[in-house]
Amino acid sequence: MKRTLRELVASGRTIAALGATDALSAKLIASHGFECVYVGSYATAASRFALPDTGLLALPELAAQVRAIANAVHVPVIADAEGGFHDAANLWRTVQAFEQAGAAAIHLEDHEGAGKHTDAPQRLRPAAEMAARIRAACEAREDPDFMIVARSDAFWLSRDLEDTIARLSLYAEAGADLVFPTLAGPAELAAVRARVRRPAMVVDMPGRALAEHKDAAVVLYYAFSTLVSFNGMIAALESFKTGKAPGGIDALEVFLDYRAFAERARRYRS
């Protein structure tokens, strides 16, 4: 799958990576023809622990989520490695965990601390320190097709495009395969692409079509399955209060391939 993702990025197309909350949602995403799946800290914190994404997740928890999802699908899995969990000298452990879990790529961010998605104080790592971390991650991978994505939250925090481009340029020089300017819109992304010679990854923007991200190699729809599950459960629970139980169990069991188990049971019956 690692080579597959590298080829997708090199194709020049814009790839939609829909966020999965679990193996079932990932399998559904792949079954509908999407070419890769995303596993993010936002969805994992919400779906596994009903917690906000405020730096609470540990490396083993995210790696376990990736492993369960990668085992369920035959498309590449892109994983959120947060800030890397370790210092540069020990980042090999983070890379190893995600590579062995079956991820095809990870993104590492220069956002430091637990304030994301809140109005708590925010801070970024010094750019040179983050570049060293990217270099360490690139040198740690065993498979050269495993992709390291350098994410900068500078534009998200301060709307400073020049700082964002300067940071991403350093990260690219350190060996990053893709750059990821968080919350960059089409105009900002075009500027990044003109000055940083790497493919780009972005997050989706509400109300913006995939085609509007034409300068991106990959667009992460990080909350896709989380929002569908959240809204769907609310609707189903309200419906259940009126006496309507959910249907579709036959279709679910077909999708999960209960028939294959039945055939194996018959084959091995003593």
**Sequential pLDDT tens for the chain (270 residues):** 799 999 999 999 999 999 999 999 999 999 999 999 999 999 999 999 999 999 889 999 999 999 999 999 999 999 999 999 999 999 999 999 999 999 999 999 999 876 666 677 788 999 999 999 999 999 999 999 999 999 999 999 999 999 999 999 999 999 999 999 999 999 999 999 999 999 999 999 878 888 889 999 999 999 999 999 999 999 999 999 999 999 999 999 999 999 999 999 999 987
Say if strands 105-109 and 147-152 run parallel, antiparallel, or are unpaired: parallel
For residue 59, what pLDDT is reported? 97
For residue 115, what pLDDT is reported? 61
Say if strands 123-124 and 111-112 run parallel, antiparallel, or are unpaired: antiparallel
Q: Which run of H or E residues covers position 124?
A: strand 123-124
Under 8 Å between Cβ of 14 and 201: no
Say if strands 218-221 and 147-152 run parallel, antiparallel, or are unpaired: unpaired
Closest CA to 165 of 176, 175, 154: 154
* CA distance linking residue 59 with residue 228, whole number of Å: 26
Closest CA to 175 of 134, 147, 216: 134
For residue 113, what pLDDT is reported? 72
* CA distance linking residue 215 with residue 6, whole number of Å: 17
DSSP category for residue 113: S
- The identity of residue 216, as a single letter, is A
* CA distance linking residue 246 with residue 66, whole number of Å: 29
For residue 208, what pLDDT is reported? 86
Inter-CA distances, 147 with 96, 103, 178, 201, 212, Å: 13, 9, 8, 12, 24
Paired tokens of 146: 């495993």
| β-bridge mates for residue 211, sequence order | none
3-state secondary structure of 39: strand
- The identity of residue 228, as a single letter, is V
Strands (DSSP E) found in 7-72: 15-19, 36-39
Under 8 Å between Cβ of 107 and 151: yes
| β-bridge mates for residue 219, sequence order | 16, 202
For residue 170, what pLDDT is reported? 98
- The identity of residue 220, as a single letter, is L
| β-bridge mates for residue 220, sequence order | 17, 203
Paired tokens of 40: 């993010």
Under 8 Å between Cβ of 135 and 141: no
Q: Which domains does the chain have, with CATH numbers?
A: 2-222 (3.20.20.60), 228-270 (no CATH)
Inter-CA distances, 229 with 24, 220, 224, 240, Å: 11, 17, 9, 16
- The identity of residue 94, as a single letter, is T
